[in-house]
Amino acid sequence: MSDCGLVRSLLLSWVDEKLPQDLKSEVAEHLASCGACAGLEKTYRATARLGHWPDEEIPVPDRLTGAVMEAVETAGKPEKEEDPDEEIVVPTKPV
């Protein structure tokens, strides 16, 4: 099974290290031989670092992947990481 569609459907799990070993080797093998999927994998990894997962797999045109990759490399690290534990302080209501 070395086709792009299948590999791309597995990419989120692959990036998240959730694939069983046999699928992992299949994906790794495909990524080593397919530049388009390898580029998409990098985009997914960049997305994972920013903490924003797409709800479902979105087909990405190669041109867009290139632009995103370029933007990611230019931008480097995000300026500020979101803190999900940040408390919202509600002022006490005057009685």
Residues that bind Zn ion (CB under 5 A): 4, 34, 37
**DSSP code for 23:** H
* Helix, strand, coil percentages for the chain (3-state, nearest 5): 60, 0, 40
Q: Residue 24 Cβ, how far from Zn ion at the closest point, in Å?
A: 16
Cβ distance to Zn ion smaller for residue 47 or 65: 65
Report DSSP state, residue 88: P
Pick the closer one to Zn ion by CB: 3 or 70.
Answer: 3
Q: Which is nearer to Zn ion, 52 or 63 (CB)?
A: 63
CB 4, min distance to Zn ion, A = 3
Shortest CB 30 distance to Zn ion, Å:
6
**CB contact at 8 A, 36 and 4:** yes
Spatial distance between the Cα atoms of 42 and 27, rounded to a whole number of angstroms = 13
